[in-house]
């Protein structure tokens, strides 16, 4: 009888040994909390498909951000839900619009103690729900959209964003936004590019959170990436870095761990991943039925995303996880 000489189980024998040899560990610093602020409401509105998440009032947003900061979460990603939507999404660059106001509130409350990131897109603001301007045929007009993104970027930076995060997947958006920020005097405002963002069914609950319905049963397949493609993500990432992105993102996370790992090998800038609404909702739904242990699966998901190579993770579990880490 021969016994194995290599015995990995030796190092799994006790919790302290397992802690000692863990290759990755989670802390509040790994987390970014996505938060929604809605105009024209007096009370926070629960989002049915995102259990535990709400559309905040300006007031409840301030309280939530302060609590996240106290829990050690270093950053939030803010989304605005305007009362009025129009074809161009003009509330997105209104300096008195809901997102600009909320950024001002949080900057006044927390200043530099929390990194304020703002999602930079038009879909929450357009009445047709697309991420850009439509041309006369109803197609998203890439280059006409870039100018508007520049206005949104300058508005968000002026309102207090430390980081703007373009998520519309227009070609050239990072370069256009960098130029707009620099010429408006915001050379210090960073860009976190949603570089490899896929056209996935996993954003369903998010669209409830921001009251977006894409007109005429449309979708985002002409601008977001095809789920079939991984190599293409590297081209998207390289283009964004060439145009001046400071950090890049892969989105969604769990279904794209291969993409995260490949991007990690290819770039040295900070890499984010977005554990999106559908990924969160699946875990919550199973946990509500008693089919999964929510705390354990939430931590496993975020750990898996880090193991794949992400430096930080945008997740609706941010607060819950940070609480469990205290």
Find the binding residues for ligand PBG in span 155-174 (CB under 6 A): 167
Least Å from the CB of residue 79 to ligand PBG: 7
Sign (positive or negative) of CA dihedral 317, 226, 240, 97? negative
Cβ atoms 76, 312 nearer than 8 A: no
According to the binding rule CB under 6 A, does residue 121 interact with ligand PBG?
yes
Least Å from the CB of residue 23 to ligand PBG: 27
In the 8-state DSSP scheme, what is residue 217? G
Complex with ligand PBG: residue 227 or 266, whichever CB lies closer: 227
Least Å from the CB of residue 12 to ligand PBG: 35
Active-site residue, from 38, 251, 275, 319: 251
According to the binding rule CB under 6 A, does residue 277 interact with ligand PBG?
yes
Q: Which helix (H) or strand (E) holds 302?
A: helix 294-308
Residue from 125, 206, 223, 312 that binds ligand PBG (CB under 6 A)?
206
Residue from 30, 39, 64, 123 that binds ligand PBG (CB under 6 A)?
123
- β-bridge partners, 79: 36
Active-site residue, from 197, 262, 301, 306: 197
The string of DSSP letters for 231-287 reads: HHHHHHHHHHHHTT-SEEEEESSGGGHHHHHHHHHH--S-EEEEE-HHHHHHHHHHH
Complex with ligand PBG: residue 11 or 215, whichever CB lies closer: 215
Residue from 30, 91, 119, 236 that binds ligand PBG (CB under 6 A)?
119
Nearest in space to 170 (alpha carbons), one of 111, 120, 217, 209 = 120
In the block, tokens 């799994």 appear at: 12
In the block, tokens 């892969």 appear at: 250
Span interacting with ligand PBG, options 64-72, 116-124, 181-189, 294-302, rule CB under 6 A? 116-124
Span interacting with ligand PBG, options 36-44, 55-63, 115-123, 288-296, rule CB under 6 A? 115-123
Active-site annotation holds for 85: no
Least Å from the CB of residue 184 to ligand PBG: 22
What is d(CA 32, CA 55) in angstroms, rounded to the nearest whole number? 17
Cβ atoms 303, 275 nearer than 8 A: no
Least Å from the CB of residue 206 to ligand PBG: 3
Active-site annotation holds for 197: yes
What is d(CA 60, CA 118) in angstroms, rounded to the nearest whole number? 17
Per DSSP, the three-state class of 207 is helix
According to the binding rule CB under 6 A, does residue 276 interact with ligand PBG?
yes
Which are the catalytic amino acids? 197, 251
Residues that bind ligand PBG (CB under 6 A): 119, 121, 123, 167, 203, 206, 220, 276-277
């Amino acid at each position: 009888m021969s016994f194995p000489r290599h015995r990995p189980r030796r190092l799994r024998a006790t919790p302290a040994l397992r802690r000692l040899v863990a290759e990755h560990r989670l802390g509040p610093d790994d987390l970014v909390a996505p938060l929604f602020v809605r105009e024209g409401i007096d009370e926070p509105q629960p989002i049915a498909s995102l259990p535990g998440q709400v559309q905040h009032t300006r007031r409840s947003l301030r309280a939530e951000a302060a609590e996240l900061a106290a829990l050690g979460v270093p950053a939030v990603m803010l989304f605005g839900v305007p009362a009025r939507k129009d074809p161009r999404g003009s509330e997105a660059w209104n300096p008195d619009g809901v997102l600009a106001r909320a950024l001002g509130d949080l900057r006044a409350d927390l200043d530099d103690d929390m990194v304020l990131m703002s999602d930079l897109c038009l879909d929450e603001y357009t009445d047709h729900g697309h991420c850009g301007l439509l041309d006369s045929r109803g197609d998203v007009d890439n280059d006409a959209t870039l100018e508007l993104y520049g206005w949104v970027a300058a508005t968000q930076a002026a309102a207090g964003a430390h980081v703007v995060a373009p998520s519309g997947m227009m070609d050239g958006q990072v370069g256009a936004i960098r130029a707009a920020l620099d010429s408006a005097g915001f050379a210090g405002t960073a860009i976190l590019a949603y570089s490899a963002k896929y056209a996935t069914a996993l954003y369903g609950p998010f669209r409830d959170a921001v009251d977006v319905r894409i007109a005429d049963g449309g979708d985002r397949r002409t601008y977001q990436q095809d789920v079939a493609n991984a190599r293409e993500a590297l081209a998207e990432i390289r283009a964004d870095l060439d145009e001046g992105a400071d950090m890049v993102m892969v989105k969604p996370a769990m279904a794209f761990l291969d993409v995260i790992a490949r991007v990690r090998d290819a770039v040295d800038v900070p890499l984010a991943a977005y554990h999106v609404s559908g990924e969160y909702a699946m875990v919550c739904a199973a946990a509500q039925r008693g089919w999964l242990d929510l705390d354990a699966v939430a931590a496993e998901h975020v750990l898996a995303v880090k193991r794949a190579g992400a430096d930080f993770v945008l997740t609706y579990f941010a607060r819950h996880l940070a609480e469990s880490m205290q």
